């Protein structure tokens, strides 16, 4: 790396505590340059994952990558004061969403025993032991190895999850926008937190995975009734449906590119896109930072991601488009079954 972890951590501390605009600007430049350095290793690791999936005849729903948003960095630093920015392991993240539990377990086993030049530092299984929020995914933390000092020792995080788990996670992120809280970190209105725990356990039952510990004594019937009750009492489906950003125009237009800078206006329910090719990554990250400096978290969001097309982008990051349509379909199916079986 061009910067030591100590210097990166210091820049993060300045960002969080300094009242000097010049000091903050300087720290942001350092943080952005360091964040940008993750782009090339991310691309290498993502392409390696695609080859691995093809070799083992696993067809993913999607594979994508992103650089962590500045607001997410600040929130995580505020939540974990002792961690330090230099120790943050998901500045560069990539993800594989798989169709079912079988493919998920197969890929997990392959990755755990894969021979690679990059050190697999840690595997965290939130599928067998979900987070208190109900979040489920398997995280692989890699330390990138390179002869290029700028890239050597950078940490990258791979997340693998099923389609149902992905729908749940993106719905939580979208609901977090509604409530202006971090539901995925178990912070926010109790009714939303409890609702997503219930759905997490219902999805787990469907995929033959462990329910949440808090639901160990609850039957599927009881959880279905709880889900139906919450949906009706708090108008959850109606609320989620009302949020969706219209993307019909950008889905029909052809936008070839390697990186997409997404800027979402929650109030207007609109999305602006800037498209960059692989040689423009420095321009892309520079513009990313400039927009980040001026956004209001409860009114706008901006993120720089990589995907093969606009449609693939929307599928990979539906929460950036406030789109919970697949999650809503799952809820409607649960509620219909609840009625059809005479539980209500």
pLDDT tens digits for range 274-294:
888 888 988 998 999 999 888
Contact 104, 161 (CB under 8 A): yes
Q: So what's the pLDDT on residue 301?
A: 81
* 81 vs 57, higher pLDDT: 57
Buried-state track 41-67, b at ≥16 Cβ within 10 A, e below 16: bbbebbeebeebbeeeebebbbbbbbb
pTM, two decimals, is: 0.89
What mean pLDDT do residues 176-191 have? 86
* Both structure tokens of 250: 């950008």
Q: So what's the pLDDT on residue 11?
A: 93
Q: What is the DSSP string of 110-175?
A: HHHH---SSEEEEEEETTTS--TT----EEEEEE---SSTTTTT-EEEEEEEEHHHHHHHHHHHHH
Q: So what's the pLDDT on residue 139?
A: 98
Phi/psi at 10 (5° precision): -60, -40
Q: So what's the pLDDT on residue 54?
A: 97
In the chain, where the domains are located: 5-162
Which segment of 133-137, 164-168, 244-248, 337-341 scores lowest on mean pLDDT?
244-248
Q: So what's the pLDDT on residue 169?
A: 95
Q: So what's the pLDDT on residue 307?
A: 72
Q: Give the percent of the chain with pLDDT over 70.
A: 95
What mean pLDDT do residues 257-284 have? 83
Q: Out of 3.40.50.970, 1.10.645.10, 3.40.50.720, 3.30.460.10, select the CATH number for domain 5-162.
A: 3.30.460.10
Q: How confident is the model at residue 178 (pLDDT cuts 50, 70, 90)?
A: confident
What mean pLDDT do residues 306-326 have? 78
**Residue 108, CA distances (Å) to 77, 115, 174, 186, 273 in order:** 29, 14, 27, 26, 34
pLDDT exceeds cutoff 80 at 160 = yes
Q: So what's the pLDDT on residue 100?
A: 96
What is the radius of gyration, based on Cα positions, of the chain? 20
Q: So what's the pLDDT on residue 82?
A: 79
Q: How confident is the model at residue 1 (pLDDT cuts 50, 70, 90)?
A: low
Q: Give the percent of the chain with pLDDT over 90.
A: 63
Q: How confident is the model at residue 50 (pLDDT cuts 50, 70, 90)?
A: very high
* 298 vs 288, higher pLDDT: 288
Which segment of 49-63, 119-133, 170-184, 323-337 scores lowest on mean pLDDT?
170-184
Q: So what's the pLDDT on residue 315?
A: 78
Q: How confident is the model at residue 340 (pLDDT cuts 50, 70, 90)?
A: very high
SS3 (DSSP) at 274: strand
Contact 123, 142 (CB under 8 A): no
Q: So what's the pLDDT on residue 220?
A: 97
What mean pLDDT do residues 147-153 have? 93
């Amino acid at each position: 790396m061009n910067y030591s972890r100590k210097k990166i951590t210091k820049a993060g501390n300045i960002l969080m505590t300094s009242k000097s605009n010049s000091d903050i600007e300087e720290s942001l430049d350092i943080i952005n340059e360091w964040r940008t350095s993750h782009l090339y290793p991310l691309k290498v690791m993502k392409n390696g994952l695609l080859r691995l999936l093809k070799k083992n005849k696993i067809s993913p729903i999607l594979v994508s990558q992103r650089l962590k948003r500045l607001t997410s960095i600040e929130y995580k630093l505020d939540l974990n004061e002792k961690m330090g920015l230099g120790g943050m392991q998901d500045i560069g993240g990539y993800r594989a969403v798989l169709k079912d539990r079988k493919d998920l377990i197969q890929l997990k086993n392959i990755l755990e025993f894969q021979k690679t030049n990059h050190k697999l530092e840690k595997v965290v299984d939130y599928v067998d032991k979900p987070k208190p929020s109900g979040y489920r995914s398997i995280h692989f933390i890699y330390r990138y190895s390179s002869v290029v000092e700028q890239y050597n020792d950078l940490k990258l995080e791979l997340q693998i999850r099923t389609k149902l788990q992905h729908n749940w996670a993106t719905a939580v992120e979208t609901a977090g926008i509604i409530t202006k809280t971090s539901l995925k970190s178990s912070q926010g209105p109790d009714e939303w937190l409890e609702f997503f725990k219930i759905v997490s356990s219902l999805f787990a039952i469907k995929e033959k995975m462990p329910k949440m510990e808090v639901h160990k004594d609850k039957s599927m019937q009881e959880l279905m009734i709880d889900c139906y009750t919450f949906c009706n009492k708090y108008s959850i489906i109606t609320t989620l449906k009302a949020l969706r950003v219209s993307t019909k125009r950008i889905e029909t237009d052809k936008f070839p590119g390697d990186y997409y800078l997404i800027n979402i206006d929650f109030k207007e329910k609109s999305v602006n896109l800037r498209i960059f090719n692989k040689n423009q990554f420095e321009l892309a990250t520079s513009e990313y930072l400039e927009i980040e400096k001026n956004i209001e978290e409860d009114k706008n969001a901006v993120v720089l991601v990589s995907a093969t097309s606009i449609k693939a982008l929307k599928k990979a990051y539906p929460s950036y488009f406030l789109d919970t349509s697949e999650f809503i379909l799952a809820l409607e199916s649960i509620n219909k079954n609840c009625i059809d079986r005479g539980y209500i």
